[in-house]
């Protein structure tokens, strides 16, 4: 969550930013984005499906086709929500405010912390930690020994990063995230006691990753747990030890990825999906809410259900499922009829 800035841009600048066709006064100044209903002077809004004559109070609009009825400057683009997001981010951009280290910050030996950072009150940093320019760390976070955090990364309050975790550039970690806790690995002896398998591996978080509040990525026992560039997770997402989450995957709330499982690029998993350990999921796999993935999945698969089956098959089977009592009645009826035939 960024604070608002006071900077304004001409609508021409915004049009160039997203390659839009601009209709109207190019020098109009825009300072903010607002929902269509709430937008007013100096504010740009967007319309995914412009309707007929409607009251427009926004100063300008992002639209999919030029609407000559709309009495304000228009940016015509192919993908309205995409252009709106790019423009909104641009309007919210501001120079990084380097507050340095709050006096209460505790820091171990031999750290390399760039002076252009903001490390808030109560943060505890281990030894030999490297923090790059324009990193912001929220209050009461704890960063372990031998970690590295690359440029422009934002870590919100109360995050815990264990030892030897590497975090890429432009990453966002929301509050309560835990990186590098021991994975869940035990070996059971003859009488049923569990011996812990040591977890001495690492966690590597790529660039442009965003992890939702209270999510957790476990440390590998040996080797590395990876969350690759561009992955975004919602809140409460669990990534097990030695897992490998491919570039640009989207994992919605409460998804759990088992140990040593891997996801290819650009997978999209809806909320509460679970993936068993040691499963290999291909690229662009989509899983419906609450899917349980037990087996390897080919590139482009669309799955649902527990255990996961092709999504279309699941949809059809679920429709029949709801009619099962009726189906059972029909079978009893058929059996009765057959018996009658037998008698005759």
Of 184-243, binders to a second copy (CB under 8 A) are 184, 186-189, 192-200, 208, 210, 212-214, 216, 218-219, 222-223, 230, 232-236, 238, 240
Examine residue 172 and tell whether it contacts a second copy (CB under 8 A): yes
- Among 9, 23, 162, 269, which residue sits at the site for a second copy (rule: CB under 8 A)? 162
- Give CA–CA dist 267/254, Å, rounded: 16
Shortest approach of a second copy to residue 95 CB, angstroms? 17
Catalytic residue among 199, 241, 278, 294: 241
Shortest approach of a second copy to residue 28 CB, angstroms? 21
Question: Pick from 105, 151, 107, 113: which is nearest to 130 by CA?
Answer: 113
Residues sharing a CB contact under 8 Å with residue 93, sequence separation 6 or more, in sequence order:
2, 5, 7
Examine residue 266 and tell whether it contacts a second copy (CB under 8 A): yes
Helix axes 324-343, 311-321, angle to 10 degrees: 60
Helices (H), ranges, the chain: 11-18, 80-92, 311-321, 324-343
Which residue's entry shows tokens 């059971």? Answer: 188
- 282 to 311, contacts with a second copy by CB under 8 A? 289-290, 292, 294, 306-307, 309
- Among 17, 169, 224, 253, which residue sits at the site for a second copy (rule: CB under 8 A)? 253
Examine residue 19 and tell whether it contacts a second copy (CB under 8 A): no
Q: Please, are residues 15 and 75 in contact by the beta-carbon 8 Å criterion?
A: yes
- 30 to 59, contacts with a second copy by CB under 8 A? 33-35, 38
> Which residue, 133 or 271, is less far from a second copy as judged by CB?
271
Residue 241 is among the residues annotated as catalytic for this protein: yes
Shortest approach of a second copy to residue 19 CB, angstroms? 12
Examine residue 142 and tell whether it contacts a second copy (CB under 8 A): yes
> Which residue, 71 or 307, is less far from a second copy as judged by CB?
307
- Give CA–CA dist 233/248, Å, rounded: 10
Say whether 23 sits in a helix, a strand or coil.
strand
Residues sharing a CB contact under 8 Å with residue 9, sequence separation 6 or more, in sequence order:
29, 30, 31, 90, 91
Q: And the tokens for 50?
A: 């412009």
Examine residue 134 and tell whether it contacts a second copy (CB under 8 A): no
Residues sharing a CB contact under 8 Å with residue 142, sequence separation 6 or more, in sequence order:
123, 124, 159, 160, 161
Examine residue 7 and tell whether it contacts a second copy (CB under 8 A): no
Q: Please, are residues 152 and 117 in contact by the beta-carbon 8 Å criterion?
A: no
Examine residue 64 and tell whether it contacts a second copy (CB under 8 A): no
- Among 17, 92, 169, 224, which residue sits at the site for a second copy (rule: CB under 8 A)? 92
Examine residue 280 and tell whether it contacts a second copy (CB under 8 A): no
Shortest approach of a second copy to residue 165 CB, angstroms? 10
Residues involved in catalysis: 241
């Amino acid at each position: 969550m960024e604070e608002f800035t006071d900077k304004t841009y001409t609508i021409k600048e915004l049009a160039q930013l997203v390659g839009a066709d601009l209709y109207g006064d190019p020098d109009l100044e825009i300072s903010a984005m607002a929902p269509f209903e709430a937008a007013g002077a100096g504010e740009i809004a967007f319309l995914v499906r412009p309707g007929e004559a409607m009251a427009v109070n926004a100063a300008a609009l992002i639209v999919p086709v030029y609407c000559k009825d709309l009495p304000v400057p228009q940016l015509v683009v192919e993908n309205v929500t995409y252009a709106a997001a790019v423009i909104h981010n641009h309007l919210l951009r501001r120079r990084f405010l380097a507050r340095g280290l709050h006096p209460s910050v505790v820091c171990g030996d031999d750290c390399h912390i760039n002076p252009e950072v903001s490390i808030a009150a109560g943060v505890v940093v281990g030894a030999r930690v490297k923090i790059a320019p324009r990193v912001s760390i929220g209050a009461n976070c704890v960063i372990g020994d031998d970690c590295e955090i690359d440029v422009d990364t934002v870590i919100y309050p109360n995050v815990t990063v264990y030892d030897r975790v590497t975090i890429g550039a432009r990453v966002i970690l929301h509050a309560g995230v835990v990186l590098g806790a021991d994975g869940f690995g035990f070996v059971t002896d003859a009488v049923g006691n569990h011996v812990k398998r040591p977890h001495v591996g690492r966690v590597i978080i790529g660039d442009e990753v965003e992890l939702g509040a209270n999510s957790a990525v476990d440390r590998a026992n040996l080797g590395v747990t990876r969350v690759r560039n561009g992955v975004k997770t919602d809140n409460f997402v669990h990534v097990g030890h030695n897992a490998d989450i491919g570039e640009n995957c989207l994992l919605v709330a409460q998804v759990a990825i088992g140990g040593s499982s891997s996801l290819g690029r650009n997978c999209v998993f809806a909320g509460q999906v679970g993936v068993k350990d040691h499963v290999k999921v291909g690229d662009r796999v989509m899983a419906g809410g609450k899917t349980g993935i037990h087996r390897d999945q080919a590139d482009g698969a669309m799955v649902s259900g527990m255990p996961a089956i092709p999504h279309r098959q699941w949809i059809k089977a679920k429709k029949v499922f709801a009619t099962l009592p009726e189906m059972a009645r029909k079978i009893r009826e058929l059996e009765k009829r057959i018996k009658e035939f037998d008698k005759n």
